[in-house]
Amino acid sequence: MAGTSKQARKKRALSPERPTETSQSSAEEEDVDTSSHVLTDVSTDHSDENYKESESSSASDSESSSNEEEEEEEDEEEEAVKNQKKRKAIMQSTSFISVVGKWVNGCGSSSMDASKNQFSGTVPSSASRLSPQLNLLWNHFDQTIKETRLTAATFNCLTSVPRCTQTSSGIYGGFAINCGGPNIEINQTIFSSNSQSIGGASYFQSDDGRWGVSNIGFQSDEDGAFPTIVSTSNIIQNTHDQELYQTALGAPSSLAYYGLTMLNGVYKVELHFAEISITSDGTWKSLGQRLFDIFIQGDRKEKDFDIRAAANGSFSAVVKSYHINVTQNVLEIHLLWSGKGTCCVPDTWTYGPLISAVRVIAEFELPKSSPSKTGKLSAILGSCILATALMVGCIILHVMRRRRRKLKIKSFNLQNAVEASMGAWEIPCVEVKPQIFTFNQIRIATEDFHEKNKLGQGGSGSVYKGALADGTMVAIKQLSCSADKDNQEFINEVGTISAVQHRNLVKLLGCCVEGNCRILVLELLENNSLYQALFKKKLSLDWTTRFIICIQIAQGLTYLHEESRTRIVHRDIKAGNVLLDRKLNAKIADFGLAKLFGDDKIHITTRVAGTIGYLDPEYAIRGKLTEKADVYSFGILLLEILSGRSNINTQLPEEQIFLREWAWQLYEEKRIENLADESLGGNFAMEEFARTVHVALLCAQSTAEMRPKMSEALSMLTGSLDIKLTINRSGFSAHHNQLSLQGSNTTFRQTTF
């Protein structure tokens, strides 16, 4: 080729560079160079998986260049890249206008995005080797790829220019898609399967030709590639169509759905969303944020759309509806990530657009089918029905009977286990034991789990307000349907709460076990959780109220550890598991992780469970559980009550991110008053505040043997046991602290904090 030596071309092929970002504007919005370009090869170094692109020079203006020389140069380029193990290319909006020569030979394992260009002429048959990792949308091809169902007319019509006249005239009046899942029927609408895991540059068209989906963007590292299909087994709130939200389809950059050969007219477009990757349970897993834009027919309908915000939480459904006029037989729904939000919380590749289902409904009267088409369709359907009806009916009936029988056995076994767990305890002074409710009773009590009755949602399920038949107001805790290990936690929670009765522990009224339903019926505490009061500012808590709450939590833990017939370690003491009644009295809830201790056991070794930030360091590292694990969590919770902030907050200055360390620093510097919640406005009893800070730091020591028992912590809070703290610089941050209890022979020393 003119102006380019063979050596220079070979060197450029061997040393490809990372591609730069290209314009996303359509060809109609740019001045396109009409000279021919030659597409020769695109390759990527497999060792670091970076995209690299090698583009051949422009065709020589000289008419004297021979075909033999061009073929020789192409052979050299192919030789230079033939040992590359993996090829991925992005050539979107590069304004190529034709294909000359061979089509990227030998790259059957590649993925290529050549959409939004000006390609014309014949689609080379060799391009089919890239399928489905090939995206040729929005071009000017004039033939069909023989090895696929995709016609060049379909490729060409998906653009802003009026080329859709090349496709068939409109014949469809809508479609419905179950994104990431199988075919399902919802309210007499068939949501067709979209369970294919599409790659970094690919286009998939449905079997009936009604719709297609395009994915642009590729991400991978040593942890694996971007997961385009996401699924969950959790119960999805705010919907009766659970199956529709159990799966979702995502993309790292761009996800577009196209309605093909549609009748022109006005349609209602429903986009179904549910955030099933990022939680809303107040833990670090809820710190992620997914933001993307929604375009329909090129118009932006939503900017920085946040599924959780729109649905009021994770695992909750939300439907966005739009009225769209289709004028060229094609509908485009485009979800685009523009780099906002987080990328890696709670897992790598947790970002980008995510959608559960798409439904498009015509808002005009559909034309009646012609007699010939109707007759053919009726004949085909009649034959299929006659041939398969009996066989399918028998299979379905058999499967349903077996499933019902297995479900009944499983439900019966679980109910027996729950009743045995409740009956294994003899609860003194309690005349009415927890009862077993039917699911229908629960459904009526919650008005079919209506959204207006929803009190909150955590990692284990949702909580609703309900009214029993006798008018008793209750809290209904609906646990997520999951594995047998969670059934064991359910049995454990029912048995544990049934076994203990204390004014500072939430009372269990009963439970429901039917099929996969696992529901607890608890006493209703009108002011929700301490988490809502402290961090969501739903309540204004003055100092006196906060101090009483601290004492009441300590009383509840003291009962569990030292006063109940069997010692119980809660294992998940945190603000979200402390509930407040109408008078703001505190009660400890959620005993799903509780462990029972025999009198002869000092500790037990068990699977580590709890919430990050509240976990005892020794327990987290070694798995050895004692009552001191609850003492540590109690110390952290005290600091949160005092400060009105969570124990980890990355939005604060570096020295304040971790509440425990910051409180210790203020204590050393004799500035503990700076720890007080600003909402208190300085209105607190300094002596009580300082005493509570001292108890919190004493309980939150890293070494379990240096923490007090809960009864001692309670006595120190109430002032019946004095505390004297002496600071020596040698331990934590070059400081060592000796904490002694006056009136007790026990001495606690903090060697590391």
pLDDT digits (tens, 9 = 90+) for 645-662: 999 999 999 999 999 999
> pLDDT tens across 682-732, in order?
999 999 999 999 999 999 988 888 889 999 999 999 988 877 544 333 333
Residue type, 281: D
**Distance (Å, whole) CA 451 – CA 213:** 33
Residue type, 626: T
Torsion (CA) 86, 90, 95, 97 in degrees, nearest 10: 40
Task: Find out whether 10 is annotated in a ligand binding site.
Answer: no
Are the C-beta atoms of residues 476 and 457 closer than 8 Å to each other?
no
**346: cis peptide before it, omega within 30°?**
yes
Are the C-beta atoms of residues 134 and 203 closer than 8 Å to each other?
yes
What confidence score (pLDDT) does residue 659 get? Answer: 94
Q: Which residues contact 424 (CB under 8 A, 6 or more apart)?
A: 495
> pLDDT tens across 414-430, in order?
455 444 444 443 333 33
Going by their DSSP bridges, the two strands 247-250 and 229-231 should be labelled as antiparallel
Give the chain's length: 753
Residue type, 446: T
Which long-range contacts (C-beta less than 8 Å, at least 24 apart) are formed by 219-228?
A: 219/252, 219/349, 220/49, 221/49, 221/348, 223/348, 223/349, 224/348, 225/349, 226/200, 226/250, 226/251, 226/252, 226/349, 226/352, 227/349, 228/180, 228/197, 228/198, 228/199
First to last CA, the chain: 72
Domains of the chain: 1-159 (no CATH), 168-367 (2.60.120.430), 423-523 (3.30.200.20), 530-750 (1.10.510.10)
Which of 284, 562, 708, 609 shows the shortest CA–CA distance to 619?
609
**DSSP type of residue 559:** I
Residue 665 tokens read as 């620093």
Are the C-beta atoms of residues 496 and 596 closer than 8 Å to each other?
yes
Are the C-beta atoms of residues 722 and 742 closer than 8 Å to each other?
yes
List of the chain residues with pLDDT < 70: 1-169, 198-202, 217-225, 369-379, 381-383, 398, 400-434, 458-460, 480-493, 495, 515-516, 598-606, 724-753
What confidence score (pLDDT) does residue 605 get? Answer: 63
Block residue for tokens 């309908």 = 301
Are the C-beta atoms of residues 575 and 515 closer than 8 Å to each other?
no
Q: DSSP letters along 381-435, please?
A: HHHHHHHHHHHHHHHHHHHHHHHHHHHHHHHHHHHHHHHHHHHT---TT--S--E
Mean pLDDT of the chain: 73
Q: Classify the phi-psi angles of 100: left when phi > 0, otherwise alpha if psi is within -120 to 50, otherwise beta.
A: beta
Q: Classify the phi-psi angles of 329: left when phi > 0, otherwise alpha if psi is within -120 to 50, otherwise beta.
A: left
What confidence score (pLDDT) does residue 219 get? Answer: 58
Q: Where are the alpha helices (DSSP H) in 480-616?
A: 484-499, 530-535, 543-558
Which long-range contacts (C-beta less than 8 Å, at least 24 apart) are formed by 297-301?
A: 297/324, 297/325, 297/326, 297/331, 297/332, 298/160, 298/332, 298/334
What confidence score (pLDDT) does residue 736 get? Answer: 36
**Distance (Å, whole) CA 614 – CA 161:** 59
Q: Classify the phi-psi angles of 279: left when phi > 0, otherwise alpha if psi is within -120 to 50, otherwise beta.
A: beta
What confidence score (pLDDT) does residue 149 get? Answer: 43
What confidence score (pLDDT) does residue 584 get? Answer: 96
What confidence score (pLDDT) does residue 41 get? Answer: 36
Are the C-beta atoms of residues 127 and 106 closer than 8 Å to each other?
no
For residue 654, the Cα-to-chain-centroid distance in whole angstroms is: 28
Catalytic residues: 572
> pLDDT tens across 631-645, in order?
999 999 999 999 999
Q: What is the H or E stretch that residue 156 is in?
A: helix 152-157
What confidence score (pLDDT) does residue 489 get? Answer: 63
What confidence score (pLDDT) does residue 720 get? Answer: 86
What confidence score (pLDDT) does residue 70 get? Answer: 54
Q: Across the strands, what pairs with 88? A: 111
Distances in Å between the Cα of 144 and the Cα atoms of 156, 158, 564 are 11, 15, 77
> pLDDT tens across 533-581, in order?
999 877 899 999 999 999 999 999 999 999 887 788 999 999 999 999 9
**Distance (Å, whole) CA 75 – CA 217:** 30
**Distance (Å, whole) CA 267 – CA 323:** 6
Q: Where are the alpha helices (DSSP H) in 566-676?
A: 617-622, 628-643, 659-668
**Distance (Å, whole) CA 55 – CA 42:** 7
